[in-house]
Amino acid sequence: MRTLPDRRAFLACFSRLGIASALFPTVLWARIEEEKSSRVTKEMLRSAASVAGQSFTDAQLDQLMVAVNQHLAEYDALHKIDLDNSVAPPFYFNPMVPGTAAPGLKIDRSKRPFQMSAPERVTRPQNLEDVAFWPVTRLAELVRSKQVRSVELVEMYIARIKRYNPRLLCVVTLTEDLAMRLAREADKEIAAGNYRGALHGIPWGIKDLAAVKGYPTTWGADPFKDRIIDADATVVLRLTQAGAVLIAKLATGELALDDVWFGGQTKNPWDLSMGSQGSSAGPGSATAAGLVGFSIGTETGGSIVEPSGICGVTGLRPTFGRVSRQGFMTLSWSLDKIGPMCRSVEDCALVLNAIQGPDDQDLSVVDVPFNWDAKLDIHKLRVGYLKAAFSNTHQTAAVDANDQAALEKIRSLGVNLVEVTLPPEPALSVSALITAIIYGEGNAALKDPVETRPERLVRQDRVVHQNSLRLLPAVEYLNASRVRTLLMQQMARAMSEIDVYLVPFDYADYTPNPVATLNTSLTNLTGHPCVVVPHGFNEKGAPTSLTFIGKLFGEAQMLALARAYQQATDWHLKHPKDFS
């Protein structure tokens, strides 16, 4: 007769019954402790069925009792296999559904030259710190023309980090030794005429979900605060190859949740009484405060969009499958995405060009060229706007005015805006899908430390919620994925008539815009790209933002329209006065 190995094995056996209630563990584990049973009994199964809202006959319970006890041994054998977070299942989400090769949905796979805008003539200011908020395109000209050395930029940004990070809590680890070595190498190469491109010598920071050889990779979680992964993430390798200089690992909300990590809450430079949202809290805060030239964030359900919008930076969430996640913490294999958070749209294009494309490590990445052309004729684009989101009454007067002004500004550029609607699935279905998929995959990906060291985590609400879904049945996860397919098909049809559409930012003034929030969840599920750009300020002087949604692998067109809007305004040139 087999004894139960521990509470985890007991919990696992009931997933077969479709039980996902948070009440179940306390009810049934107490029953086991009372009876000191060495196996799952018929009464335990009857209680489990009652908690799950199901019923079985005595004959069915007799059969289930045999099967469940047998499966306990099988589950126990699987539990003995050490599965690191980096081990992915052998199947990959593909955002392209049948029909994407049809007219109006075809993915452009032809590769064309990367076309930047004409370089801006720049002059080194007397005080180098005056360039702290310059976009990469301007910083690059200083470096290329040898008016400024990379070492000087690194020293300037690191001094700002040391001065301001105690207030912002946006940096987890300074990579100062690495940065100085890379900067010296960059200066030597540039002096010898070996200029690698616009990112050469530019200091940057990365969300601390990414592995950087020789430095801690904490995931914002106390159990990992001293852990060193002896490897570099693909994105780190590619930016290093482009000549960029990594100066800091930036804060992430604990295990990619919100903006609270083991060091505290990362602050918004525009309002230090507020967090910078998450989980790319550090990249949003550091970029907005002028502590890095640009940064890298990640998104599963809104973690680039939200901190970018609240901190007033330009944040790009690429198409799912555009950028390799190799070397990053996995929260959800079918939802995680990596993208740049910068001070201008063209900065995002520069960084995306360096990091995108297959690496033979993350097999979800698709080989589709990114054909950026700063001179693309935006008048040829079919542009829509999500009228329901712009008609929302939950925002303040200033936010509503900024939304309407942005639409009028885009119309003034000669762009005809047409109304678009989201797929008909209700918000509840989208929320249920996000929950089932993120936590279905996240429960497997983050067993350590959520299950093994939960007492050391700051966000105990995360532990409770994840535990409540620990027993998500496989059939429910698969059915959620099938509903996701329906949404993807509906979205493909909706996008067949347009190239880009506009939607307000989700959380203006930290107040949800329900339609915009639904849009963020929906487009994360379908894998579509978006870019968030600042478009004004609210009554409190905090940034407000606008989101551009593109077609799958349509970043070039989406960014071209966003850049045209940004060139016609100056919101992206504003920065928080307390950090200037």
Domains for the chain: give ranges and CATH numbers: 128-425+478-579 (3.90.1300.10)
Per residue in 351-389, pLDDT (tens digit) is 999 999 999 999 999 999 999 999 999 999 999 999 989
Higher pLDDT, 7 or 280: 280
* CA atoms lying within 13 Å on the CB side of residue 200: 22
Do 157 and 136 form a contact (C-beta atoms < 8 A)? no
Residue 460 has pLDDT above 60, yes or no: yes
Q: 392 is written with which tokens?
A: 């929302």
- Output the pLDDT for position 108: 83
Confidence of residue 476 (pLDDT cuts 50, 70, 90): confident
Q: Using the predicted structure, report yes or no on whether residue 565 has a pLDDT greater than 90.
A: yes
Model confidence over 514-555: pLDDT tens digits?
889 899 999 999 999 999 999 999 999 999 999 999 999 999
pLDDT at 4 (0 to 100): 37
> Taking all residues of the chain, what is their mean pLDDT, rounded to a whole number?
89
- The reported pLDDT for the residue numbered 123 is 97
Q: Measure the CA–CA gap between 484 and 478, rounded to whole angstroms.
A: 10
Read off the pLDDT of each residue in 241-263 and give the average, rounded to a whole number: 97
Confidence of residue 23 (pLDDT cuts 50, 70, 90): very low
Report the pLDDT value the prediction gives residue 53, as an integer from 0 to 100.
63
Indicate the SS3 state at residue 263.
coil
The more confidently predicted of residues 482 and 54 is 482
Which among 279, 285, 344, 545 is annotated as catalytic?
A: 279
Q: Which of 258-272, 451-465, 502-516 has the lowest mean pLDDT?
A: 502-516
Q: How far is CA 269 from CA 3, 167, 287, 313, 512, in A?
A: 56, 9, 10, 11, 21
Closest CA to 243 of 198, 292, 304: 198
Averaged pLDDT, 499-510: 84
Which residues of 282-429 form beta strands (DSSP E)? 294-299, 314-317, 337-342, 383-386, 417-420
pTM to 2 decimal places? 0.89
Q: Output the CA torsion sign for 506, 510, 513, 518.
A: positive
207 tagged catalytic = yes
Among 285, 295, 303, 308, the active-site one is: 303
Instruction: Give the three-class secondary structure for 208.
Output: coil
| pLDDT at res. 60 | 85
How many residues are recorded in the chain? 580
Of 207, 225, 249, 267, which is the active-site residue? 207
Give dist(CA 344, CA 500) in Å, integer. Answer: 18
Q: Which residue has the higher pLDDT, 430 or 579?
A: 579
pLDDT at 473: 78
Residue 409: helix, strand or coil by DSSP?
helix
| Lowest model confidence (mean pLDDT) among 189-203, 314-328, 382-396 | 382-396
pLDDT at 289: 98
DSSP sequence for 36-100: T-SS--HHHHHHHHHHTT----HHHHHHHHHHHHHHHHHHHHHHTS---TT---S----SPPTTT
Active site residue 279: yes
**104-145 pLDDT, tens digit each:** 567 888 899 999 999 999 999 999 999 999 999 999 999 999
The span from the CA of 52 to the CA of 14, in Å, is: 10
Range from 218-222, 240-244, 355-359, 474-478 carrying the lowest mean pLDDT: 474-478
Predicted confidence at residue 241, as pLDDT, reads 98
Q: From the CB of residue 459, how many other CB atoms can be counted at a distance below 10 Å? A: 20
Instruction: Check residue 435 and give its pLDDT.
Output: 84
Which pLDDT score, from 0 to 100, does residue 391 have? 83
Of residues 285 and 505, more confidence is placed in 285
Residue 34 pLDDT greater than 50, yes or no: no
DSSP assigned state of 373: B
Q: Residue 285: enclosing H or E segment and its boundaries?
A: helix 281-288
